[in-house]
Amino acid sequence: MKVLLIIATSLLGVLALLSALLWMGGVAGAVTGGGRGTDELDYLLTLSAVFIGLACISGVTLLALPGSKKGTGHD
């Protein structure tokens, strides 16, 4: 379960960065005269916020899970 949460946290973090970079690139393109307008790209900023939130939730869940301790004598 911890491996899945580690994968989910890292994947969601990468997706958040990617969507934020796409939004910044689109805004820069709109400012310089090319690309799309900023109103058409606002969904990328919302998507980035959702990905960051999901990454934080899975990261906190990962930290809250107890680790497996072998050899403690308790069954």
The residue extents of the domains of the chain are 11-64
| Rounded average pLDDT over 5-25 | 88
Burial of 55 (0-12, 13-18, 19+ CB in 10 A): buried
| Cα–Cα dist 65/58, whole Å | 11
pLDDT score recorded for residue 38: 66
pTM (2 decimals)? 0.70
| Rounded average pLDDT over 7-17 | 90
